[in-house]
Amino acid sequence: MMPDKCLLIVLDGLGDRSHEVLDWQTPLQAAHTPHLDHLARNGANGLYHAGSLGEALPSETAHFAMFGYDRKDFPGRGPLEALGVGVDLARDEVAILAHFAALEERDGCLALVRDVPRADEEEVAALIRAVDKWEQDGIRIRYVPVKGVFGVLILSGEVSPDITDTGPMRDGRFLPDLLPLISKHSTTLDAENAVRARNTARVLRAYLLHTWDTLREHPLNDRRRGAGLSPITGLVTQRAGSLRPVPPFSRRFGLRGLSIASGAVFRGLARHLGLDWQAPRDTGDLAEDFARDLADVPEHFTRYDFIHLHTKAPDEAAHAKDPLLKKAVIEALDRALGTGKALLENPGLLVVVTADHSTPSSGNMIHSGEPVPLLFHGTGVRRDVVTRFDEIHAAQGCLGCVRGTELLRLILNHLDMARLEGVRDTPEDCLYWPGDYQPLPVRIPLSK
Ligand SMILES: [Zn+2]
């Protein structure tokens, strides 16, 4: 019997490049990972890319595909974070990531001095109070805090998400100007949207200049200057979007799902897709926390068929640009996986281990476009020649290179639930079989 439940373990940003300090191996290749290797040896292996090879994806876009949804329906990170902090975003509103930053004027333009300045709770509260609302030409803007200096702007009125970012992400660079995106088509709808995008860009630019004018003069910054800290003088924005409805996960795939992943964006993504959500443990002891989250999984399976267990530790280690730290983090996670041996090696459970994207622990890139290793383990899963779980060995596996939404299709397949293409038992397009269909009654109801 094939398994009927799936545990998807996502080690965020696991994939990497080869580094001299690791004898030209990747951190995963160099790491001692007996438990992951054991699963690889008894399972099917391959590479995975949530988008197209070479494409550098952020976690939310990658996870959208990993959960089986098409890129064209992706709402943008702004709306997901808004949902994640409990905003009931309306369909015609726009949400944009925004955070307080240290800016300066250079050659008559705004430049980034420090992208994420340190500020305590009280300082952040004072900054927000100074600039949290704006209204101009029928467009309203409000700032909603997410965490620390990070927040989202909610725009209502005749607005469009099709505008450029202002956050350059690297200290020293100029802020890009706010401009409407160039539309690829010329339908009436697009013409209307182009007007909205132009107005949105103009009003948001005015608001950002207002935050610069207000915060530059703010007494809080006199104190900071006095203490030798960079003054926090503005907001920068990124990744605008608006919601578009998608069928909930359980209706599309026939699985009741739980996502265990930290941060507003994962909480928002779960809310958007109809997955239940829970925060992972975070006591500061990575191996212990991950082991305890794993130990809770059997209990969750009494209520769920699909569990997403996520840790962002490898990604964070890579962002610190420290290949040795990333190797150590991977080894700690492997030790934690060793404590869940009975669960992970139970053939009645489909275990899938992979990552959402690669994060290079050297160089200038934020994320990178190489594929990541992927393994499937459970009854009936093919066994290939791969004996180690890393980017290089995985390429010899029998799964080949899996991409995008194929991951969730493969999961349904290994749960014996994949719909034979063309079979229609429900009016709604869903990917599992048999669908949750309406039985044919013997008497025709009066209403038909
Ligand atoms: Zn990252």
Render 333-363 in DSSP notation, one character per residue: HHHHHHHTHHHHT-TTEEEEEE-S-B--SSS
Rg (CA), the chain: 24
- At residue 258, the 3 state secondary structure works out as strand
**Residue 95: CA count within 13 A, CB half-sphere:** 27
What domains can be seen in the chain, in order of their start residue? 5-71+246-414 (3.40.720.10), 82-241 (no CATH)
Quote the ligand 1 centre to 430 CA distance (angstroms).
32
- Angle 56-58-59 from CA coordinates, rounded to 5°: 130
Identify the pLDDT of residue 94: 98
Kindly give the distance from the C-alpha atom of residue 360 to the centroid of ligand 1, in angstroms, as a whole number. Answer: 9
Q: What Cα–Cα distance (Å) separates residue 288 from each residue in 221, 280, 283, 317, 318? A: 41, 11, 9, 17, 21
Largest CA distance in the chain: 83
**Distance (Å) from CA 299 to ligand 1 centroid:** 30
Per-residue model confidence (pLDDT) at position 56: 98
CA 206 to chain centre: 30
DSSP conformation letters of 179-240: -BPPPS---HHHHHHHHHHHHHHHHHHHHHHHHHHHHHT-HHHHHHHHTTPPP--EEEEEEE
| pLDDT tens across the length of the chain (448 residues) | 899 999 999 999 999 999 999 999 999 999 999 999 999 999 999 999 999 999 999 999 999 999 999 999 999 999 999 999 999 999 999 999 999 999 999 999 999 999 999 999 999 999 999 999 999 999 999 999 999 999 999 999 999 999 999 999 999 999 999 999 987 666 776 888 999 999 999 999 999 999 999 999 999 999 999 999 999 999 999 999 999 999 999 999 999 999 999 999 999 999 999 999 999 999 999 999 999 999 999 999 999 999 999 999 999 999 999 999 999 999 999 999 999 999 999 999 999 999 999 999 999 999 999 999 999 999 999 999 999 999 999 999 999 999 999 999 999 999 999 999 999 999 988 899 999 999 999 998 777 5
Q: How far is the CA of 434 from the centre of ligand 1 (A)?
A: 38
CA distances in angstroms from 207 to 100, 135, 373, listed in the order given: 13, 8, 44
Report how many helices (DSSP H) and strands (DSSP E) the chain contains, helices first: 15, 14
Cα 120 to ligand 1 centre (Å) = 24
Distance 349 CA to ligand 1 centre (A): 29
Whole-number Å distance, alpha carbon 57 to ligand 1 midpoint, is 9
β-pairing verdict for 234-241 and 257-260:
unpaired
Bridge partner list, 374: 46
**Which secondary-structure segment (H or E) carries 297?**
helix 297-300
Look at residue 184 in the predicted model and tell me its pLDDT.
Answer: 66
